[in-house]
Structure 1
Amino acid sequence: MSQNSRVSRVCGLNNQGIVDYSQAWDYQRSLVKARVNNPSLNDVLILVEHPPVYTLGTGSSLDFLNFDPQAGEFEVHRIERGGEVTYHCPGQLVGYPILNLRYYQQDLHWYLRQLETVIINTVANYGLSAYRVPNLTGVWVEGKKIAAIGIKVKRWITMHGFAINVCPDLSGFKQIVPCGIADKPVGSLQEFVLDLTVERVRVDVAQAFASVFKLKLVEENILN
């Protein structure tokens, strides 16, 4: 479906607290499978936090781990998204959009730029000027990467997504080369806005997501 003939879409907003990575991963895959079988199903945006966990993209190099994955303190998962290794932990808001890109644009670069726009627009609410770095995926503020993006698309149904460092313990990033980028430090929004909370960012990122993708969000809280 071309963008010009696009209809207004309903998107379920699934807000969760701290959820084990494997549980959220299984849930995403179940949603994608359902939409591959029935493309008319509504889109979904899952917003969660995770206990400490490292994830590697399909082709990620183990050289970017500064520890033995068989003997590390936290879980390590190799998953089907693109990109290199990243770290999730409480205080980081993770967004998993399950969108049918046939209703938007069947263009992965377009989709990545849209996700970056969602984050840039969210951060603008806090008086911060976030930006892209040429030839890289993600969002930066004052030289620090505050959001990472990694996606998987199957038959134009998206999964995985973005992670925004709101107020996490950043020490876990010292165990990896985040996203394979050695020369650009990772930061958090709380470094710039001291009282910022994940709950505040949840609200703002959902609003920005609805605006950028021209969606109607409907609250739902089912994760199984």
Structure 2
Amino acid sequence: MNRSITSHSRYCLLYNLGLMPYIDALEWQRSLLQERIKNPNLEDVLILLEHPPVYTLGQGATPEFLKFDLDNNTYSVYIVERGGEVTYHCPGQLVGYPILNLQRYRQDLHWYLRQLEEVLIRALARYGLEGERITGFTGVWVQGRKVAAIGIKVSRWITMHGFALNVCPDMTGFERIVPCGISDKPVGCLAELIPGITCDEVRANIAQSFAEVFDVELVTADPHGNLPTIKV
């Protein structure tokens, strides 16, 4: 699928997927990034999915934030190229991986992080929840609890990795780490405030907020490689 964008429209392919092993999504992101470094005219991409239980550490992450032995454990753990400390992914957490060419937007990483936060804040507002930023930190909080983590990697102004929103996950996995290296601010999820909420219903709100914030037209893409057909 190598349909190039035109100079008149800014499209972003939306892959709205289910549960995918972390390593598969990671290799897919790396492939998409390299393709766009070679051909910057390729469309931007937004991947929305969930992962089986997995811990990930960013470059330079602090092992002391793990409450288990990194070299002797039964958990799935990956050290990856994103920024940030250790985090946890599991079903019930909606993960978004934007593969964007920031030369189309703004070549400013701080701006990009704030835009990702804005996507999440707008999506939360659709449920009457006030998402908040905390000065000096990256992510989104609701009522003092961190509900969304953000970690990115940018190469040649092409982005990968992204955000993770705790919708209705099993929160016990967070007990084995100091999430994002922040020991004095608890993590939370939307289900604590909106019982019965699911990732499936949140996906549409995230997609709509993403389209608004980045001023793109989302086009639903076929994960099997066929040309996109459904506009969102």
Q: Is the 8 A contact 1:152 1:158 kept in 2?
A: yes
Dislocated runs of 4+, deviation >2 Å: 70-73
How far does residue 74 in structure 1 lie from its aligned partner after superposition? 1.7
SS class of match (2:131): coil
Partner of 1:3: none
**Count of matched residue positions in the alignment of Structure 1 and Structure 2:** 219
Residue identity in the other structure for 2:140: V
Please say if 1:169 is aligned against 2:150: no
Task: Report the alpha carbon displacement of residue 223 of structure 1 after superposing the two structures with TM.
Answer: 6.4
Supply the AA of the counterpart residue of 1:58: Q
Unpaired segments ≥5 residues, structure 2 = 1-6, 226-232
What secondary structure, in the 3-state scheme, does the structure 2 residue paired with 1:77 have?
strand
Partner of 2:121: 120
Q: TM-score, normalised by structure 1?
A: 0.96
Rounded to whole Å, the distance in 2 between the matches of 1:73 and 1:56 is 16
> Which residue is 2:219 aligned to?
218
- Tell me if 1:131 matches 2:132: yes
Match of 1:77? 78
Q: CA deviation at 1:195?
A: 1.9
When the two chains are superposed, the root-mean-square deviation of aligned CA atoms in Å is 1.2
Deviation readout 1:173-209 (Å, 9 max, x if unpaired): 0100000000000000010011211001111000000
In 1, distance between residues paired with 2:114 and 2:152? Answer: 12
Q: CA deviation at 1:8?
A: 3.7
Deviation at 1:85?
Answer: 0.3
Counterpart residue identity of residue 211, structure 2: A
The answer to whether 1:87 aligns with 2:88 is yes
Q: 1:178 to 1:223 in 2, by over 3 A?
A: farther
* Higher RCO structure (Cα 8 Å, ≥6 apart): 1
Q: Within 2, Cα distance between the matches of 1:163 and 1:157?
A: 19
Matches within 5 A, 1:60-209: 60-209=61-210
Q: Within 2, Cα distance between the matches of 1:73 and 1:190?
A: 28
Q: Deviations over 1:90-136 (max 9, x none)?
A: 00000000000000000000000000000000000111111100110
Q: What secondary structure does 2:141 align onto?
A: strand
* Runs of 5+ consecutive residues of structure 1 not aligned to the other structure: 1-5
Residues 47-106 of structure 1 show CA distances to partners (whole Å, capped at 9, x for unaligned) of 010000000001101010000122223211000000000000000000000000000000
